[in-house]
Chain A
């Protein structure tokens, strides 16, 4: 029983990180129907920016904020430079461009910073472990869960309570009709990249601290997993992405905890394939909405 709770807790932490990444995937997909392959690499850039800040002596929160701002701008630049012109041409062209951006970010980081694994200075978080009825909770877990919770609440607020959020949802349903209401679609897409990439940066620093490693290819696996989480939840649905992230994290953790750590990643992909077979629209996906 304790073991189970322990695994679920670990899964919850890891799942929160997936959720933060998946939210960005799903928002960007929702608004321009593009699988932003570079999203995972934005995580990596965020982790490096935060690492730089931490090495300069900044604490967790300032480092987090710097990474989020830097990546938000990076996201907007990526959309402007690599996607905006090719998007109207074809989806395949945009997807190819996204893969290009992904490789570019990975190798530019490798070129300038090397492929070595780096770690955050210990000062960013002094390791502590608490025991709660036999279940061990580290302050890493608390940091991940707390940060995710705060960001998710802010995100929900923006999407569902603000004028900009309303415009984002309107554009994701029907861009041309939104234009007729006076919405500048290009700006709205840029805002979506801004927010989604900031979330990815937060996931990057959390991932780097949680697994104690930062390197140029670190975004690949969590990027893929978060993509699975987004599909699992129903791509385009924000609550779906959160749910999908948490579920995937917990499943992985359970598989690993009960002797299958070698199969952990395989399980994630099997889940994806099964979902696609059984419910192609995902857990909270709406499917193709009928337009009258």
Chain B
């Protein structure tokens, strides 16, 4: 990244849930245009890291900077306006709203009617299955379709940085491939990606760099290709 300041920077980030100390001093950077993955076992604190960035949980100490601006204390609903979108764990689409309304919720913060219309068309071109189901209530979509909707909804915010929390969860292998190639495509079109994954093999394949999280601490980091070759990573996360 040379001398350029990173797009996102976490400095010694701590998060508590009551008595539970979920993040114990995370340092992490994401450079403009990168795909960075965050891998780790269940309960390591991956989702918590993304929630803290989005402002849904508050940091007990440390700093989160985006575009060199301190956003640690910015409320969740204003984080989106800064250009950070999250595709949350478990998709969390609005099951009581139609597919179109879900996508419109993605554009909730925007007022540029023309741009919204254009982005809506782009999302529907990217996910033709959503176009076919545009009037359908989101709760009736399949898991894969809901994941597409969740990604589409995040795209509608026009993010500079997209946080994805286990987008491959519960999907058939073919669909996982499709979702990952869509993530790469979104990245090529200029959106920076921070990707949390259980599927470490796939995540390391598409990422530029990666971090390994263990019980609230970063234990390893480096270029994704190098991490994928390391014995400890292979043993713990790539099935030997």
Q: B residues within 8 A CB of A172? A: 96
Q: Which residue of A lies closest to B87 (CB)?
A: A180
A291 CB → nearest B CB, Å: 7
Q: Count of A-B contacts with CB under 8 A?
A: 80
B220 CB → nearest A CB, Å: 29
* Cα separation A239 to B94 with both chains bound (whole Å): 19
Q: Which of B56, B90, B95 is close to A180, meaning CB atoms less than 8 Å apart?
A: B56
Does any Cβ of A come within 8 Å of B86's Cβ?
A: yes
Size class of A's contact patch? Answer: 20 to 34
* Cα separation A291 to B170 with both chains bound (whole Å): 13
Q: Which of A169, A181, A290 is close to B153, meaning CB atoms less than 8 Å apart?
A: A181
Q: A residues within 8 A CB of B78? A: 182
Q: A residues within 8 A CB of B88? A: 176-177, 180
Within 8 A of A (CB), among B121-173: 139, 143, 146, 153, 157, 170
Q: Are A174 and B94 in contact (CB under 8 A)?
A: yes
Q: B residues within 8 A CB of A180? A: 54, 56, 76, 80, 85-86, 88, 92
Q: Are A173 and B109 in contact (CB under 8 A)?
A: no
Q: Are A166 and B96 in contact (CB under 8 A)?
A: no
* Cα separation A166 to B80 with both chains bound (whole Å): 18
Does any Cβ of A come within 8 Å of B238's Cβ?
A: no
B202 CB → nearest A CB, Å: 21
Does any Cβ of A come within 8 Å of B97's Cβ?
A: yes
Does any Cβ of A come within 8 Å of B108's Cβ?
A: yes
Does any Cβ of B come within 8 Å of A2's Cβ?
A: no
Q: Given contacts A289-B139, A292-B91, A292-B146, are A181 and B108 in contact (CB under 8 A)?
A: yes
Q: List 21 A-B contacts (CB under 8 A).
A: A166-B105, A169-B97, A170-B97, A172-B96, A173-B94, A173-B97, A179-B56, A179-B76, A180-B54, A180-B80, A180-B92, A182-B78, A182-B80, A182-B108, A182-B109, A182-B157, A183-B108, A185-B77, A290-B95, A291-B95, A292-B90
Residues of A within 8 A of B (CB): 163, 166-167, 169-170, 172-174, 176-185, 286, 289-292
